[in-house]
Amino acid sequence: MIKAVIFDMDGVLIDSEHYWQQTERTLFRELGIELTDELLVQTRGLRTEEMVEHWGNRFDLGSVNPEELKQQYDRRMVETMQTEVQLMDGAREAIRFFVDREIPIALATCSSQAHIEATMEKHNLKEYFHLAVSADQMPGKPHPEVFLKTAALLKIDPTYCLVIEDSFVGLIAAKAARMKVVVMPDKTEYDQVRFGAADLKIKSLSELNEEAFEMLRKI
């Protein structure tokens, strides 16, 4: 049984991953640090402070204040979300699919409240979501707290929740919360065996149709 659906935001509802990486690359290039595509894989799915800490441990940031760096990064991404980031293919249809079936939907993301609000306002999504929860002040994924908190606010048992994620750490977090998981990995990671831990793997939200939903309900 599925009584609620919880969407991740970046890489699931909005096509933002390359903007996060582009901003990360630009920010550190300004400090004289070149982050290659291979290096950027290391911080995929991390929160801003985790990303800054990761590179701070690897490179000499000099006199740069990590908190100031975090704030710069977040400010640039809020502006980008307000102006450039678009919905993922099939996102609006997937939202409508669950709304039409009167299944509550929520957002659970490691992005900040400012990023959530920028996304909701740009794409007029707020009316469809019962709530949006940021893990900004919680342990980051793969810790399950953000999903457990979302289920508690919805007043729905976690085992009756379905999570839609794109990252492996998000998948593990949802499984740790005892929730069903649909994973939609980036195309560069789609064939990785580890994503087999999900209940369903898809390439696009357009695959969330009646047949897929019925299969998930029976698991």
| Distance separating alpha carbons of residues 213 and 97, to the nearest angstrom | 10
Instruction: Work out the pLDDT band at 58, boundaries 50, 70, 90.
Output: very high
SS3 112: coil
Report the pLDDT value the prediction gives residue 91, as an integer from 0 to 100.
98
100 labelled catalytic: no
Report the pLDDT value the prediction gives residue 41, as an integer from 0 to 100.
86
Is pLDDT at 53 greater than 90 in this prediction? yes
Percent share of the chain, pLDDT over 90: 87
Is pLDDT at 177 greater than 90 in this prediction? yes
**10-33 pLDDT, tens digit each:** 999 999 989 999 999 999 999 999
Instruction: Work out the pLDDT band at 46, boundaries 50, 70, 90.
Output: confident
Question: Considering the entire predicted model, what is its pTM?
Answer: 0.91
Q: Are 115 and 74 in contact (CB under 8 A)?
A: yes
Sign of the four-CA dihedral 186, 74, 77, 22: negative
Nearest to 51 by CA among 30, 28, 31: 28
Residue 201 makes CB contacts below 8 A (sequence gap 6+) with 182, 183, 184, 185, 190, 195
89 labelled catalytic: no
Lowest average pLDDT, out of 40-54, 118-132, 137-151, 162-176, goes to 40-54
Is pLDDT at 145 greater than 90 in this prediction? yes
Report the pLDDT value the prediction gives residue 17, as an integer from 0 to 100.
87
Catalytic residue among 8, 74, 136, 166: 8
Q: What is the DSSP letter of 198?
A: S
What length does the chain have? Answer: 219
Sign of the four-CA dihedral 58, 23, 116, 168: negative
CA distances from 63 to 25, 28, 32, 69, 166 (A): 19, 14, 13, 11, 35
Query: How confident is the model over 149-153, as a mean pLDDT?
Result: 98
**90-115 pLDDT, tens digit each:** 999 999 999 999 999 999 998 999 99
Strands 105-109 and 131-134: parallel
Is pLDDT at 184 greater than 80 in this prediction? yes
